Amino acid sequence: MVSPIIDELAEEYVGRITVGKVNVDENDTVVAEYGIRNIPTVLFFKDGQVVDKQVGAGQKAAFVEKMNKLL
């Protein structure tokens, strides 16, 4: 599951990167705006723009690599 990984990363990157979750069942506007078709989908933003995306389950190391590129 991705959720526990995201929770860990939120703690590890506190103060450096903002990490959030969206319930797609309750936020259809977000789903439409970002074209989310599969769950989980993790979007990586920089300066308000999507700069990367992970669709499907991923390994923590892959998320760390993507997040470090944003710093």
Task: Tell how many helices (H) and how many strands (E) occur in the chain.
Answer: 3, 2
pLDDT at 30: 95
Q: Where are the alpha helices (DSSP H) in 1-71?
A: 3-12, 28-34, 60-70
Count of domains forming the chain:
1
The CATH number given to whatever domain includes residue 64 is 3.40.30.10
Query: Which residues form the domain of 65?
Result: 3-70
Question: Along the 71 residues of the chain, how does pLDDT read in single tens digits?
Answer: 899 999 999 999 999 999 999 999 999 999 999 999 999 999 999 999 999 999 999 899 999 999 999 99
Measured in Å, how far apart are the chain's first and last C-alpha atoms?
25
